[in-house]
Chains A and B, each alone.
Chain A
């Protein structure tokens, strides 16, 4: 079984938020970093910038807590996806997810958004100037 995810490395992250910008543009059609599927959090008076985003769980809490069936797991690609048509913006997935900022609800559409690794070619990885986000593959051929 394939698992892959975009992983953030705080030791390399400069907190520039380029990842949030390109992510929001790809997913929401405009620069709206607040609702991007990746979030940079500053800690210790700014001494660390910590990128956080969905880890594409093997057994996703968000999927199991969605009563609308709006979250599905693509076993072939190892991606946990939100089916926008089915999403009601009820926020139960956000409540169930332990990762800071991994799921957002853009008020303009009232639909949940999370990382789907851009189907294998993540924009954040492409644009990060310090390689602080990387696409990691685990297992599979």
Chain B
């Protein structure tokens, strides 16, 4: 009887070609850390000496799957785990598609890649046949070009590829890892770490199968989920199904949480061009589903007119609408679609890129950066033509692109002249398209997220705006800080546990019940679990590991804060005037730390770590 795991960990040292080994997956370890984020957190903590340079050969990049990956459980992804060159924090970044599944079929739950190749290489994983192959002829190819070349080179059109683009090769600190087709592990610069290892791509083919504990139960649960999604309860699923994540744009814009002009405001009149309706009209052709996903929120199509006509694009996801779109005041949906596609091809995280372009536009508007600095470009807000040029400059580190490629925190430091006041990042990770003024819970979530300014560790915006209770919790008032630490703690445990099962957070908002995740988990592994046991057992444990990792890297209370812009009053929208005061920030942090069993600097206490079964970390 299977339990969903493939059963092996593959270890590769690129510095030494003969150092390829496999370890059996220890089931005690699996049961304690689940998979995905949990595996990644524990492995990185144990493998990486503190304060190691992220570009050091010692910093591993790990492809991590989980027990549900490759089974019928709907929309389960895989993640890449490494120390981020952008933030120096723990970094876990997720992608859908079907690359992770293929890794499982090849027989591996985790692939740990360390070392550094002398020349560009790619890694070929065909079941037990592991080869490190020359990739000098692939160096310089963009992420779309490489697939056909590589697949015909290994003579296997059904192989799956994960790769970096020029940005990763050039060590742009927010380079992504692209997985075929059209899926990206975007945030935190995993692509730059791959680039630092001279690793251009990983190509994998698996011919094994995955067996689970209870096929009937799994099938019944999947049918129940489809039913829940389609016709019962939360009707958000059909909306997401038809409109994808840009269907959220209207909500976000009306409630004023959608960044505009480098977060100067949080609502604008251009957003409605960029929502699902605008995109459908502009270029959508068909719906695209990630592996085993009945929701298929993604769309794919072709730009029909203008300078970018003929370009095949996928949905401009909500985040990219907010950053490359409204944040840069770009209201032209064709241009927006192309800019996202350009980021994907070059291998740039589109969220960070949109944030940085917005920052540069504000510098230009304020006269801090001039046409001369930009090689003659007029970079006024909304100038999408020149935005494309700037994106290219960043990926190839040309001109000012060389400074911007370091991320907004370092760029602002270098440029100076007060630009640090409008560099919108937390711990070096550029803020996502959930602008937090007016929803203090979102602010606390961003402040305390383990990889910096990230909305995927907790994003309580919906519950805050509607004043709704979370499971087992209570309702809160939108702009009040009261209750927000409780709300954020619950969500962080929720995401930490479910990301260890590699859940897709879009799917999780589409009507699947929380109990269904526990049921999927039990059906696959044969281990008993309920939703609340997953959170209390795994969620809190895993959240504390990543906190300890960051603590060891030198992060503490002073880093848990919001950028200065969010301390200025919000100019418009329903929560007009709201800002983050130091008093509010401190109050929320005090309560958050104390409820977590952390000291006043935000370090998990010995007692807490022992309580969570993390004895080995208790003396660190």
Determine direct contact between A and B, CB below 8 Å: yes
Q: Which residues of A contact B (CB under 8 A)?
A: 11, 14-18, 21-22, 24-25, 28-35, 42, 44-49, 107-108, 127, 129-130
* Distance in angstroms between the alpha carbons of A20 and B98 in the assembled complex: 13
Judge whether B288 and A46 touch: CB under 8 Å: yes
- Closest 4 pairs between A and B when the two form their complex, measured CB to CB: A16-B289, A32-B209, A14-B289, A30-B209
The distance from the CB of B221 to the nearest CB of chain A, in whole angstroms, is: 13
- Of the listed stretches B291-299, B362-370, B555-563, name the one at the interface; the rest are far from the partner chain: B291-299
Residue B21 is within 8 A (CB to CB) of chain A in the complex: no
Using A17-B98, A18-B292 as known contacts, say yes or no to A47 and B72 having CB atoms under 8 A apart: no
Using A45-B181, A47-B302 as known contacts, say yes or no to A31 and B211 having CB atoms under 8 A apart: yes
* Distance in angstroms between the alpha carbons of A103 and B207 in the assembled complex: 16
Judge whether A31 and B286 touch: CB under 8 Å: no
Residue B71 is within 8 A (CB to CB) of chain A in the complex: yes
Residue B144 is within 8 A (CB to CB) of chain A in the complex: yes
* Distance in angstroms between the alpha carbons of A25 and B207 in the assembled complex: 14
Residues of B251-289 whose CB lies within 8 A of A? 285-289
Judge whether A28 and B290 touch: CB under 8 Å: no
Q: In the complex, which of the residues B158, B181, B182, B296 contacts A14, with contact meaning CB atoms closer than 8 Å?
A: B296
Taking CB atoms, residues of chain A closer than 8 Å to B219 are 22
Judge whether B292 and A34 touch: CB under 8 Å: no
* Distance in angstroms between the alpha carbons of A48 and B181 in the assembled complex: 12
Using A18-B72, A47-B302 as known contacts, say yes or no to A129 and B209 having CB atoms under 8 A apart: no
Q: Which residue of A lies closest to B312 (CB)?
A: A45
Q: Which residue of A lies closest to B4 (CB)?
A: A31
16 contacts between A and B (CB under 8 A): A15-B288, A16-B289, A16-B291, A18-B294, A21-B71, A21-B72, A25-B72, A29-B209, A30-B209, A42-B181, A44-B312, A47-B302, A49-B286, A129-B294, A130-B287, A130-B296
Taking CB atoms, residues of chain A closer than 8 Å to B296 are 14, 16, 129-130
Judge whether B292 and A17 touch: CB under 8 Å: yes
* Distance in angstroms between the alpha carbons of A34 and B286 in the assembled complex: 24
* Distance in angstroms between the alpha carbons of A86 and B296 in the assembled complex: 41
* Distance in angstroms between the alpha carbons of A31 and B312 in the assembled complex: 32
The distance from the CB of B38 to the nearest CB of chain A, in whole angstroms, is: 22
Q: Which residue of B lies closest to A18 (CB)?
A: B292
Residue B206 is within 8 A (CB to CB) of chain A in the complex: yes
Residue B70 is within 8 A (CB to CB) of chain A in the complex: yes
Using A30-B211, A32-B105, A130-B296 as known contacts, say yes or no to A22 and B286 having CB atoms under 8 A apart: no
Taking CB atoms, residues of chain A closer than 8 Å to B539 are none
* Distance in angstroms between the alpha carbons of A65 and B212 in the assembled complex: 37
Residues of B370-387 whose CB lies within 8 A of A? none
The distance from the CB of B86 to the nearest CB of chain A, in whole angstroms, is: 29
Judge whether B291 and A17 touch: CB under 8 Å: yes
Judge whether B207 and A34 touch: CB under 8 Å: yes
Judge whether A46 and B181 touch: CB under 8 Å: yes
